[in-house]
């Protein structure tokens, strides 16, 4: 029998926890006083928001490591984290829109939190598109790392904007202001999302690393030593 990889086990645990957390959130936790049943979206929306920002923060760290060391491993993990961050960010935007319609009366509002989140998703999607256009592996690694670092400036802005600007979106709650029956499913789902994200990042990184290895066999690296002339780049994309 084929043995499960460590990340698959974490992913399965995450999936199981998501089912348990969502069950408690849907059926055991009480409805919120003002919003009623629709507030139950919080149990997936808030963990998605936390983990998407966490994963993109990890991508930022991997981008620095990739630029610092020049090792393909970091480039592959950065790509996996960026892809996962984009998927979670898109999911976050859709969940937010579903929650906005019954509570704000509109699917979308040009509120600072929504705008910065959309910028985040669009920019990191652009980074993935950039990667697909650059054929030379080392140049692709550096350019996408540069783009991730440049774009990461938006991520703390997404988190803190509700405190810095007047926003339709509510500010972050603390465990002291939320009933314990609501905190439990929220925490279970937050860890579930984290485990699922680790699984996705690990899987995508492995695939990207395999792709990079295949490329390196077909195309030997040709990094010029520091201080020498920059070799002419071929037309790409």
Partner 1 sequence: MRVLGQIATLVRKDLLLEWRGRTRGLSVVLFGIVTLLLFSFAVGPDSAALRAGAAGFLVLALLLSSTLALSEGFRLEHENHALEGLLLAPVEPMALYYGKALSNTLFLILLAPILTPVAVILYAVDAGPATLVQVIGLWALAAAGLSAPGTLFAAMTSRLRSQDVLLPLLLFPLVVPVLLGSVKAIALVLGGDPMGQLSSWTVLLGAFDVIYWTLSGVLFTHVVEEGV
Judged by the rule CB under 8 A, the positions of this chain that interact with partner 1 are: 67, 115, 118-119, 122-123, 126-127, 129-130, 133-134, 138-139, 142-143, 145-147, 149-151, 153-154, 223-224, 226, 229-233, 235-237
First-to-last alpha carbon distance for the chain, in angstroms, is 43
Q: Is the Cβ of residue 150 or residue 171 nearer to partner 1 in the bound state?
A: 150
Taking CA atoms, 26 is separated from 21, 31, 108, 186, in Å, by 9, 9, 25, 11
Q: Residue 117 Cβ, how far from partner 1 at the closest point, in Å? A: 11
Residue 21 CB, nearest distance to partner 1 (Å)?
A: 32
Of 36 and 221, nearer to partner 1 (C-beta) is: 221
Instruction: Rank residues 1 and 230 by Cβ distance to partner 1 and give the closer one.
Output: 230
DSSP string across 3-55: PPPHHHHHHHHHHHHHHHHHHIIIIISPPBTTTBGGGGGHHHHHHHHHHHHHH
Q: In the complex with partner 1, which residue's Cβ is closer, 40 or 83?
A: 83
Residue closer to partner 1 (CB basis): 142 or 189: 142
Residue 210 CB, nearest distance to partner 1 (Å)? 23
Which own/partner pairs from 35-44 qualify as long-range (CB within 8 Å, at least 24 positions apart)? 35/102, 35/103, 38/99, 38/102, 38/103, 41/95, 41/98, 41/99, 42/182, 42/186, 43/185, 43/186, 43/189, 44/95, 44/189
The least distance separating partner 1 from the CB of residue 76, rounded to whole angstroms, comes to 17
Min CB(98)–partner 1 separation in Å: 23
């Amino acid at each position: 029998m084929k043995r499960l990889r460590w990340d698959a086990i974490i992913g399965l645990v995450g999936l199981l926890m998501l089912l348990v957390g969502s069950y408690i959130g849907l059926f055991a936790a009480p409805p919120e006083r003002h919003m009623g049943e629709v507030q139950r979206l919080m149990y997936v929306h808030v963990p998605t928001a936390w983990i998407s920002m966490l994963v993109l923060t990890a991508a930022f760290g991997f981008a620095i490591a990739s630029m610092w060391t020049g090792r393909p491993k970091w480039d592959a993990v950065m790509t996996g984290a960026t892809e996962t961050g984009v998927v979670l960010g898109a999911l976050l935007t859709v969940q937010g829109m579903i929650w906005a319609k019954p509570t704000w009366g509109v699917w979308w509002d040009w509120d600072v939190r929504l705008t910065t989140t959309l910028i985040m998703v669009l920019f990191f999607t652009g980074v993935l598109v950039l990667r697909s256009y650059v054929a030379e592996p080392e140049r692709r690694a550096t350019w996408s790392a540069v783009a991730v670092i440049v774009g990461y400036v938006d991520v703390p802005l997404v988190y803190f904007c509700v405190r810095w600007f007047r926003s339709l979106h509510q500010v972050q709650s603390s465990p002291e202001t939320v009933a314990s029956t609501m905190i439990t499913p929220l925490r279970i789902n937050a860890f579930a999302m984290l485990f699922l994200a680790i699984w996705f990042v690990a899987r995508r990184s492995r695939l990207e690393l395999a792709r990079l290895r295949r490329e390196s066999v077909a195309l030997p690296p040709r990094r010029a030593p520091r201080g020498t002339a920059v070799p002419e780049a071929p037309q790409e994309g």
